[in-house]
Amino acid sequence: MVGESGDAGVSGARTMNELRAPQAAAGQTAGTVPATPDTPPANTDVAFDSGETASYPTDSQVEVPDVKKIAGQAGTMSFWLQPGWEDGNHDDATFMQLGDSRLQVIKNVNFLRFEFVDDNGVAGGIGAPIAEWKAGEWHQVATTWNGNQFAMYIDGQLVSQTVHDGRVDLAPGTRLFIGSDFPLSRPVAPGTIWGVDVSQQPWSARKVASQFQSVMGGQNPPGTPGRAPATR
């Protein structure tokens, strides 16, 4: 049942078993941001697209430079996550963050959380349990916001949504971070982030599901070159 609490069910979610993150392209180190292409993307709503070769570890943080379109009261953060943690792991991690934690997707104990701080400084959030996730599996995560409406999807399925009494209006120049920036004394839930997409428009449920299916390969075997992480 979809709801506002952090215990929304994910029974309808699908997984990408036995897949792993792609290796970095020649000359590119995993965990780095690809150079911005000279030709702007055809979709003008796209604020950042990490491409299909870059991957990011959860235990370090990368700042994405020159993301000029991340502003306003609506948008989407989408990415693929491969847990590296084992059953029973209660360590936290930050996967994606916009601004000074104005919007962020995190692991909190055994929950996936989409948290936000509105323009009045009031915090809110939604979440879903991920205790059943297995190390090495791939999962699509997509979060959307539109004024005071917030939603989170896992593997193409809506798992939680809420209407908050306050808006998140991002200022021009808001920075995007991928990964965790924790003190050395604080353990981070290990994992790999891949396929990051940030848009200045909130994706519809249909688009989230379509993106999930396209990366899964549709009728093609999972791991189709250029559309999904390579198989083990």
Q: Give the pLDDT confidence of 57-67 residue by residue, as tens digits.
A: 999 999 987 67
What is the pLDDT, as a whole number, of residue 99?
86
Look at residue 115 and tell me whether its pLDDT is greater than 50. Answer: yes
Q: How far is CA 172 from CA 69, 71, 165, 175, in A?
A: 7, 5, 23, 9
**Which backbone phi and psi does 152 adopt, to 5 degrees?**
-135, 135
How far apart are the C-alpha atoms of 95 and 192, rounded to whole Å? 9
Give me the percent of the chain exceeding a pLDDT of 70: 74
Task: For residue 181, give the 3-state DSSP assignment.
Answer: coil
Residue 218's pLDDT band, with cuts at 50, 70 and 90, is low
Q: Which of 134-148, 198-212, 217-231 has the lowest mean pLDDT?
A: 217-231
CATH class of 46-216: mainly beta
Q: Which residues pair with 145 in a beta bridge?
A: 75, 150
Q: Span 78-104, mean pLDDT?
A: 95
Query: What residue spans define the domains of the chain?
Result: 46-216
Residue 107's pLDDT band, with cuts at 50, 70 and 90, is very high
Q: What is the pTM of this model?
A: 0.78
Q: Give the pLDDT confidence of 18-32 residue by residue, as tens digits.
A: 444 443 333 344 454
Average pLDDT score, the chain? 81
**Which backbone phi and psi does 209 adopt, to 5 degrees?**
-65, -40
How far apart are the C-alpha atoms of 169 and 46, rounded to whole Å? 18
DSSP state of 216: H
